[in-house]
């Protein structure tokens, strides 16, 4: 099993992918908080490794939660997080397919969990971004779950194409 490597850069998707990969390792290899930091920092490469070497002495003995906080401050700054939340708030289907809209919705929802904190809220947010012709077909159904709404939106678009 090869651990994920992180080379640096301010790309929220790469940052998140690395963190998720490291957390996946923790599921297989349970370890103490300090060991989590050791394992994670072992996988840092290039610029990220240089960053950690620069701040390591000031952060001896930190736990995983604190490490993530300083890591995100460096590689996923608040202004970038705020931009992703705003992008999610304004997300509309437009000319893309329901499948493409759903993929973008899922990608951005991770950054605005407060807006999709229940299945009902997630369904309403998804519905509000659908193109009008599809939205009109599904909103009368008042579907309570995201999965049901997605299914009907996909079916609606298929039926409209025929």
What the block records as the tokens of 47 is: 């610029």
> CB-based contacts of 141: which residues, under 8 Å, 6+ apart?
152
* Cα 19 from Cα 52, distance rounded (Å): 15
Q: Tens of pLDDT along the chain (162 residues)? A: 788 999 999 888 899 899 999 999 999 988 988 899 999 999 999 999 999 999 999 998 899 999 999 999 999 888 888 999 999 999 999 999 999 999 999 989 988 989 999 999 999 999 999 999 999 999 888 888 999 999 999 988 665 654
pLDDT at position 162 is: 43
Half-sphere CA count of 142, side-chain side, radius 13 A = 0
* Cα 33 from Cα 59, distance rounded (Å): 13
Domain ranges (residues) in the chain: 12-76, 84-161
Select from 143, 120, 15, 161 the least CA-distant residue to 75.
15
52, 38, 76, 128 alpha-carbon torsion, rounded to 10° = 170
pLDDT at position 1 is: 73
Q: Say if residues 43 and 6 touch (Cβ distance below 8 Å).
A: yes
Q: pTM to 2 decimals?
A: 0.72
Q: What radius of gyration, in Å, describes the C-alpha atoms of the chain?
A: 20
């Amino acid at each position: 099993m090869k651990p994920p490597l992180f080379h640096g850069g301010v790309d929220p998707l790469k940052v998140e992918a690395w963190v998720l990969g490291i957390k996946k390792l923790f599921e297989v290899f349970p370890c103490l908080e300090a060991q989590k930091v050791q394992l994670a920092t072992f996988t840092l490469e290039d610029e990220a490794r240089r960053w950690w070497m620069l701040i390591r002495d000031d952060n001896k003995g930190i736990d995983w939660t604190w490490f993530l906080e300083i890591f995100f401050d460096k590689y996923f700054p608040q202004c970038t997080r705020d931009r992703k939340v705003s992008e999610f708030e304004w997300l509309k289907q437009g000319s893309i397919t329901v499948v493409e809209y759903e993929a973008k919705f899922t990608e951005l929802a991770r950054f605005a969990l407060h807006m999709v904190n229940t299945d009902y809220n997630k369904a309403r947010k998804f519905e509000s971004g659908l193109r009008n012709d599809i939205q009109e077909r599904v909103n009368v159904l008042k579907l309570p779950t995201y999965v049901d709404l997605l299914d009907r939106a996909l079916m609606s678009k298929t039926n409209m194409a025929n």
